[in-house]
Chains A and B, each alone.
Chain A
Amino acid sequence: MIIPIKCFSCGKLIAHVYKPYLEYLKKGESSEKAFEELGIKRFCCRRMIVSHVDLIDDLLKFPRLQ
């Protein structure tokens, strides 16, 4: 849906690096390099970002019950 705020396994704050991570990828950097620059070291935190699907953009297209 939307990027979780903390890593499920270790509790590190990860939500704020999702956007910069995508920007790194857009520039053509490898995700390993991006994670190194952003200070995400453990694989539990890396999978949070790599495996995330931002479904909220699709859901915004539909009308909501008020």
Chain B
Amino acid sequence: MELEKPMEIEILEQDEYNLRFILKDVSIEMVNSIRRIMMSWIPCMAIDEVIILKNDSPLYDEILAHRIGMIPLKTDLDSYKLPEDCECGGFGCPNCQCSLTCEIMNDTKNTMVIYSGDLKTNDPNIVPVNPNIPIVKIDSNSSLIFEAYATLGRGRTHIKWQPVSNAFFRYLPQIEFDDSKCKNCPDKCIVSRMCPENLYDFSNGKKPELVEDYWKKCTLCRSCEENCPEDAVKVDWNEKSYIFSIESDGVLPFDMLIEKTFEIFLGKIDEFQSDLEQIEVEE
């Protein structure tokens, strides 16, 4: 199959942790594979191995290790390799591992919370995305000493390696609104009152008006279509355009994330093609 038109991306909103864009001229299968690659194939950094030397906290070592692993770390994809692709064969070397340490003794008389900002890292590029994530609380005269190793991994192994916290898409809504039928309507406009997103503006009291950027908010609930007594509204969606939303923890910047997604996507297609060519079909 050949695409008639190249895919287009139009960015709607972007801030530090959220990105929304419209994908035009793509099939739903392709949008979904983009989503799945984002969630489970992009490598990112997380702590994978913890050596606990002293733990006086009320949490068990295992729970503590799990909490430390969940902390999202800023990722530097250029200087680290996945352990399975590394020359060391996954044993751990400076090319695939980064060590973080924490050594805290509570000398005060009060309890003390240990935050992710207390982790000391070897590589200044690999730091927790937020320094205020509480790890554990310790009593006075207690201490917590551990050594942790962060490696690259993929979301399909464990969600701690998932660079996006939420990635989803939906159809681009298309509403056909024929307001010439509105003059027959005896009542006050029901449609404008029923729409949960208030997409019909009935402030003039005569004719309801569909808001210009309704497609940003419309959830395709069809309440307007079902409630209009004159059948003036038709709710439909564009089969080839999708609104895609990504929410990230700040692990990878969005441009890197999207670049990497398509790199992996194209790599997978090539892999599939070369596998297909190797298969001999018996006739």
Contact = CB atoms under 8 A, between A and B. Distances in A.
Contacts of B247: 12
Contacts of B70: 4-6
Contacts of A10: 165-166
Per DSSP, chain B at the interface is loop
Given A19-B132, A59-B58, A60-B137, A13 B249 contact: yes
A33 interface: no
B56 interface: yes
Interface in B89-103: none
B59 A5 contact: no
Contacts of B132: 16, 19
B43 interface: no
Interface string A15-38: 110110000000000000000000
B56 A64 contact: yes
B151 interface: no
A15 B134 contact: yes
A7 B165 CA distance: 9
B201 interface: no
Per DSSP, chain A at the interface is loop
A1 B134 CA distance: 12
A11 B165 contact: yes
Given A18-B134, A56-B137, A13 B129 contact: yes
Contacts of B56: 64, 66
Interface in A35-66: 39, 42, 56-57, 59-60, 62, 64, 66
A2 B59 contact: yes
B153 to A, nearest CB: 15
B133 A1 contact: no
B19 to A, nearest CB: 15
B130 to A, nearest CB: 5
Given A12-B247, A64-B58, A6 B165 contact: yes
B15 to A, nearest CB: 10
A11 to B, nearest CB: 4
B44 to A, nearest CB: 12
Contacts of B136: 2, 56
B162 interface: yes
A62 B56 CA distance: 12
Contacts of B130: 13, 16
B67 A5 contact: yes
Contacts of B166: 10-12, 42
Given A2-B59, A57-B111, A12 B133 contact: no
Given A5-B70, A13-B130, A60 B59 contact: no
A11 B168 CA distance: 13
B139 interface: yes
Contact of A11 (B59, B71, B129, B162): B162
Contacts of A12: 165-166, 247, 249
Given A60-B139, A64-B56, 4 more contacts: A2-B137, A4-B70, A12-B247, A64-B58
The 6 A-B pairs of least Cβ separation, nearest first, read A5-B70, A59-B58, A16-B132, A11-B165, A12-B165, A15-B133
